[in-house]
Amino acid sequence: MATASRVRAYIGLGANVGDAADTLAAAVHALAALPGVRLRGVSRLYTTTPVGVLDQPDFHNAAVALDVPAGPDPATGATNLLVALKELERAFGRQVRQRWGPREVDLDILVFGRHAIATSRPPQGQSADPAKARLPLVVPHRDARHRLFVLAPLLDLAPRLVPPSWGETVAAAAERQRGIEGARAARPIASWDGEGWSPLE
């Protein structure tokens, strides 16, 4: 029997409501348990400075590398993954709040193989962020290249990756953004031990 085709996807995780570290650990396990998915890597856990709305707790952020079903075409494969992510967000109690506001958990497709994708979102794939609810799904994520809270975890997993349309590696983008935001904007605090987070020495 032929093996189903898979594609390497990178997912950004974030949370700042409740025990964010425990939430993100549970989210990693939930992502790994999705049908047809193989977990290939987990970044360190970071504490990061909020963007947009500053009057809120710092975020915890991480990223995972997953091999996921490719689907019949890239747009369909990415949309299927998006729907699974939004279902997990709802299962983790994600609430509708203002843009850039507090989040129980946020799961975003950062990169989907070598594909540049722009496609409409099905109703079950719409964001809990009202400002983004009806925006198309765009991959690579439209803000990833300019957000250290995304780039720092992604750097742990794929420093030499050149996402479609970036024209630079993740490492180069992270170095540039660290110079803009400052090193304290994304601070590693724990590593993944296969079960959960182990504090860094």
Measured distance CA(113)–CA(80) in Å, rounded: 14
Confidence grade of residue 136 (pLDDT, cut at 50, 70, 90): confident
Helices (H), the chain: 20-32, 74-91, 148-157, 170-181
Whole-prediction pTM: 0.90
Question: At residue 122, does pLDDT exceed 50?
Answer: yes
Question: At residue 128, does pLDDT exceed 70?
Answer: no
Q: How many percent of the chain have pLDDT more than 70?
A: 85
pLDDT digits (tens, 9 = 90+) for 69-100: 999 999 999 999 999 999 999 898 765 655 55
For the chain, what is the mean pLDDT?
A: 88
pLDDT of residue 55: 64
Domains and CATH numbers, the chain: 6-196 (3.30.70.560)
Neighbour tally for 78: CB within 10 Å: 27
Question: At residue 173, does pLDDT exceed 90?
Answer: yes
Average pLDDT on 164-182 reads 95
